Amino acid sequence: MIENFENAKIDDWLIFDELDKNLSWKGPSDWSLKKEGIEGVGLYQGANLWGDPTDTIPIGSIIIYSKLKWSDFILEADALTKDNDSMGIVWRFKDLTEHYRFITLQSNLDGGESGPWRKLEVRLGRGKGEKLPFYETIKTEKGKSYTPGTLTHWKLEVRGNTFSVEVDGKKACLGKIIDTRNLVISVSQSLLSREYFLIIYW
């Protein structure tokens, strides 16, 4: 499937904003389809949802394509932001409390690990995934993120229980094949079955 958004409808996507009680800069998000920086039409998020009140974890808004499901897949996407916060990709999404993500951070965090960095993380489900730290980190690549105002290209490959990520044609630290079954036992089995694909921005 190739999505250039020329004939897309925003109603084909489902939006999940982090709960206000978990956010420092609260919603709602402002998702739309428009021409903004990337050639042609793209998904655009214009609100500044940001982080938890202690400024420990980057969280915000998620948008998910609702019309198709995948199990094994390769996703390639161009991303661009002029902001210096964070953005990334989410997959194996059940809800806000259960999913995996590749997340890049450019800025500093007052209460957490300051950027720049890239991480592969899993949100821990009902209970643990509803309170700090929300996520368990699987892999970290320090010193690398995106450049505000510069287009970046991501490639995510999911095969069974392994994930790999490339950034601008180069394997990221997270590109190493990872078997998540042995990493986080608190994640429900639903995360190991059907796939939803989505992109997440803050």
67 forms bridges with which residues in the sheet?
none
State mean pLDDT over 153-165. Answer: 87
Q: Annotate 140-183 with DSSP letters as a single string.
A: EEET----TTS-EEEEEEEETTEEEEEETTEE-GGGS---GGGT
State mean pLDDT over 21-41. Answer: 88
Q: Is residue 9 classed as helix, strand or coil in its secondary structure?
A: coil
State mean pLDDT over 77-85. Answer: 89
Is 107's pLDDT higher than 80? yes
Round to whole Å and give the CA distance between 144 and 156.
17
Is 181's pLDDT higher than 60? no
Domains of the chain: 10-201 (2.60.120.560)
Is 51's pLDDT higher than 60? yes
Q: What is the pLDDT of residue 174?
A: 53
Is 36's pLDDT higher than 80? no
Is 47's pLDDT higher than 50? yes
Of 168, 17, 13, 183, the C-alpha closest to 100 is 183
Mean pLDDT rounded to a whole number for the chain: 82
Q: Annotate 20-53 with DSSP letters as a single string.
A: GGG-SB-----EEEE-SSSSS-EEEE-S--B--T
Q: What is the pLDDT of residue 144?
A: 93
Q: What is the pLDDT of residue 199?
A: 54
Is 166's pLDDT higher than 90? yes
Round to whole Å and give the CA distance between 125 and 99.
8
Question: pTM (2 decimals)?
Answer: 0.85
pLDDT tens readout for residues 120-142: 999 989 999 999 999 999 889 99
Is 182's pLDDT higher than 60? no
Round to whole Å and give the CA distance between 150 and 138.
27
For 96, the token pair is: 């806000």
Q: How confident is the model at residue 1 (pLDDT cuts 50, 70, 90)?
A: low
Round to whole Å and give the CA distance between 27 and 16.
10
Q: How confident is the model at residue 196 (pLDDT cuts 50, 70, 90)?
A: very low
